[in-house]
């Protein structure tokens, strides 16, 4: 059955999506609830970050903010759950993100051996993000441990496409990390952040399960179709188009209103397919800009941008998501300002989303990929809020991916 597109679908805001839109075409799970019905607990990290800010208007505003009625925010987008502390793409991480007020939650989507969709950041990261090597499924890995080597895990590779969905769901998620030079499994696992206690592991989820969970919590959904790490067509017949269509079809099957789904991809062809075949979803799909990988790319030189901002608009794309550093630069006084890239995107009519807050190591280390264009202007963890303030107030982003959504939820509440 063809989905009924809302009259305002082309202009729906993230805020409308997170509050269930106008109710037309919503799934039964939505009921009369809205995203603000979830109990919000941002913990103490936002206050600690605020205390580290220099004296000034931002610190004053945040310090004097009343959070007694804090609610979820569409500005706050959960990146893989809450991986700052909790295993990514696990039920536990997703629930933590929702409790922290994320208005949108992300399931990175890839596929299993039997072509079922699951939530995992990479098709071939099971050896570092799950306990697969401690299970009999280790022998199913595309590159299993080499037991005859002094470092049996140096080249190991375990992919979702190595196992079935049923097998995948028997695994436990852990925080990403490993000691590749290890001689034993215990040493290999000791390379994971945290203490490897049972509480550090979490429940893995299929894409369909994530939809059901997010729907029941009445948050918006932002699945990212991950680039396959196996040759496509997979097994000679499962094409990229089939894969991209399957992801959207699972939302259609679940009866989710397309206004609540912000599908993402680095592959422009995926967005073009969605726009052509399921415009209800494609009209608010998010293009992830990966052109930073091009050696010639320069945020201050529009001639180095491909695709151009105008061509994205011409294709019908509304949302552009970029690394934080691409949206920011420093002026002659050393203050953080919008980059030429950000200004041009806004002028073209694109809605901007930044990624990823609180993913870098300590800001003062000076080794922060996400802040590389503005490193000279930030020197302590509190400057996460400084960056966020410029992104919202000057760049005008409509959403920010974060590894710890509480920070963005707090900022959004205190800046509304």
Q: What is the DSSP string of 350-396?
A: PEEEEEEET-SS-GGGS--GGGTTTGGG--STTHHHHHHHHIIIII-
Burial status of residue 32 (CB atoms within 10 A of its CB: 0-12, 13-18, 19 or more): exposed
Residue count of the chain:
416
Q: How many helices (H) and strands (E) does the chain have?
A: 16, 15
Contact 289, 326 (CB under 8 A): yes
Q: How far apart are CA 182 and CA 191, in angstroms?
A: 9
357 SS3 class = strand
Look at the block and give the residue holding tokens 């000679």.
236
**Nearest of 54, 36, 2, 74 to residue 392 by alpha carbon:** 74
286 - beta bridge partners? Answer: 264, 319
Q: How far apart are CA 290 and CA 227, in angstroms?
A: 12
Q: How far apart are CA 253 and CA 244, in angstroms?
A: 15
337 - beta bridge partners? Answer: 329
Query: What's the pLDDT score for residue 325?
Result: 98
- Cα–Cα distances (Å) from 350 to 106, 272, 293, 307, in that order, read 21, 16, 21, 13
Domain 31-112+205-414 has CATH 3.20.20.190: yes
CA dihedral 33, 4, 105, 87 (to 10 degrees): 110
**DSSP codes, 208-260:** HHHHHHHHHTT-EE--EEPPPSS-SSBTTTB-HHHHHHHHHHHHHHHT--GGG
Query: What's the pLDDT score for residue 349?
Result: 98
Residue 178 tokens, joined = 């490993």
pLDDT tens track of the chain, all 416 residues?
Answer: 222 222 222 223 577 676 654 433 333 333 333 444 789 999 999 999 999 999 999 999 999 999 999 999 999 999 999 999 999 999 999 999 999 999 999 999 999 999 999 999 999 999 999 999 999 999 999 999 999 999 999 999 999 999 999 999 999 999 999 999 999 999 999 888 765 667 689 999 999 999 999 999 999 999 999 999 999 999 999 999 999 999 999 999 999 999 999 999 999 999 999 999 999 999 999 999 999 999 999 999 999 999 999 999 999 999 999 999 999 999 999 999 999 999 999 999 999 999 999 998 788 887 899 999 999 999 999 999 999 999 999 999 999 999 999 999 999 999 98
| Sequence spans of domains, the chain | 31-112+205-414, 121-203
Contact 115, 109 (CB under 8 A): no
Q: How far is CA 139 from the centre of its chain?
A: 31
Instruction: Indicate the pairing of strand 108-111 with strand 102-105.
Output: unpaired
Query: What's the pLDDT score for residue 314?
Result: 98
CB atoms within 10 A of CB 278: 23
338 - beta bridge partners? Answer: 328
Residue 250 tokens, joined = 């699972």
Query: What's the pLDDT score for residue 20?
Result: 54
Residue 147 tokens, joined = 């037991």
Query: What's the pLDDT score for residue 197?
Result: 66
Contact 79, 355 (CB under 8 A): yes
Task: Look up the pTM and report it.
Answer: 0.92
Omega into 334 within 30° of 0, i.e. cis? no
């Amino acid at each position: 059955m063809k989905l009924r597109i809302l009259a305002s679908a082309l202009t729906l805001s993230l805020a409308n999506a997170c509050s269930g839109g106008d109710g037309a075409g919503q799934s039964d799970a939505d009921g009369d609830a809205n995203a603000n019905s979830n109990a919000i607990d941002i913990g103490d990290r936002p206050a600690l970050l605020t205390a580290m800010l220099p004296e000034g208007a931002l610190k004053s505003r945040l310090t004097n903010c009343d959070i007694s009625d804090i609610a979820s925010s569409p500005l706050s987008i959960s990146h893989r759950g809450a991986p700052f502390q909790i295993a990514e793409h696990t039920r536990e991480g997703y629930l933590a993100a929702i409790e922290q007020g994320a208005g949108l939650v992300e399931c990175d989507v890839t596929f299993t051996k039997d072509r079922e969709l699951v939530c995992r950041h990479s098709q071939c990261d099971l050896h570092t993000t799950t306990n697969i090597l401690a299970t009999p499924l280790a022998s199913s890995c595309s590159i299993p441990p080499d037991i005859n080597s002094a470092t049996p895990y140096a080249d190991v590779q375990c992919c979702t496409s190595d196992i079935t969905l049923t097998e995948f769901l028997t695994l436990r998620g852990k925080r990403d990390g490993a000691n590749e030079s290890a001689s034993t499994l215990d040493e290999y696992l000791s390379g994971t952040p945290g203490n490897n206690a049972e509480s550090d592991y979490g429940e893995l989820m299929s894409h369909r399960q994530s939809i059901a969970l997010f729907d029941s919590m009445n948050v918006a959904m932002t699945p990212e179709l991950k680039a396959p790490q196996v040759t496509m067509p997979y097994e000679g017949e499962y094409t990229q188009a089939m894969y991209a269509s399957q992801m959207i079809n699972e939302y259609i099957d679940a009866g989710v209103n397309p206004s609540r789904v912000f599908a993402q991809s680095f592959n422009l062809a995926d967005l073009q397919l969605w726009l052509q075949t399921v415009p209800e979803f494609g009209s608010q799909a998010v293009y992830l800009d990966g052109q930073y990988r091009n050696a010639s790319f320069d945020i201050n030189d529009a001639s180095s941008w491909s695709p151009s901002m105008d061509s994205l608009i011409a294709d019908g794309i509304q949302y552009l998501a970029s690394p934080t550093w691409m949206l920011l630069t420093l002026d002659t006084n050393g203050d953080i300002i919008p980059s030429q890239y950000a200004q041009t995107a806004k002028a073209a009519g694109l809605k901007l989303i930044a990624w990823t807050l609180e993913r870098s190591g300590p800001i003062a280390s000076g080794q922060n990929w996400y802040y590389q264009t503005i490193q000279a202007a930030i020197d302590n963890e509190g400057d996460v809020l400084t960056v966020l303030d410029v992104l919202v107030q000057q760049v005008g982003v409509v959403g920010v991916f974060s590894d710890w959504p509480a920070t963005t939820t707090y900022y959004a509440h205190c800046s509304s």
